[in-house]
Structure 1
Amino acid sequence: MTNGGAVTSGYALTVRFTCRDADAAQQFDALVARTLEGIRTEPGTLVYVSHTPVDEPLVRVFYELYASEDAFQAHETQAHTRQMLKEREQYLVSTEVTFLNEKAGKRPESAEAP
């Protein structure tokens, strides 16, 4: 995405969650579904998607893209996010977070991106 010829950057991360077992995975998915109701109203959250890798039914990989680091911090302070962070650990055996630097690509336009 460009802004007057300059590449704009957002704030992106992936999170890999490994659930304890199939029941925990179902409960984790239900928690995510409830949380998404609030996330959909966050103006600075551009993409928030949960994936299940092929042949890894207990793993969830999230891709999150925010308009800025401030938008990510605002997301982290929301009641629905805080509730998810509080509840999720009971379903998980591990969590791996990777923060990403944008190089190039196609992503949603955002009035909030610099």
Structure 2
Amino acid sequence: MFALVVKFDLIDAERAAGFDQLVAETVKSIAESEPGTLVYATHTVEGEPLSRVFYEVYRDREAFEEHERQPHTRQFLSQRNDYVASHRVEFLTPDAAKGLPAAD
């Protein structure tokens, strides 16, 4: 299993709406075409209207790399800077969990 969390800080409310639309389109494609993506959850942050957090779990590193090669992911990556002031990626090592496959 391979997991990560990403926090995005958006530029302003107008761009946040555009980012949310881009995310909705991207997640739809992920759900339809990525069997190796086990969890792809996007969140708004309570009390931080311009922040978004993504939690992503992949079957393995190869499934993540396959996700990164997908046209919908490439489109998201090429357009996100129109909306994002900054972002931070944290790669995770899964330990104890409920609802996720056991870590290898």
TM-score interval (norm. to shorter): over 0.9
The residue that corresponds to 2:43 in the other structure is 51
Shift of 1:107: 2.5
Shift of 1:53: 1.1
1:26 to 17, 20, 28: 17
Shift of 1:21: 0.2
Shift of 1:106: 1.5
Structure holding more helix per residue: 2
Greater shift after overlay, 99-108 or 15-24?
99-108
Calculate the TM-score normalised by the size of structure 1: 0.85
Number of aligned residue pairs: 103
Structure holding more strand per residue: 2
1:97 to 89, 93, 96: 89
Q: Give unmatched runs, 5+ long, in structure 2.
A: none
* Root-mean-square deviation (Å): 1.5
How many percent of aligned residue pairs carry the same amino acid?
50
Which secondary structure does the structure 1 equivalent of 2:98 belong to? coil
TM-superposition CA deviations, 1:55-82 (whole Å, max 9, x none): 0000000000000000000000000000
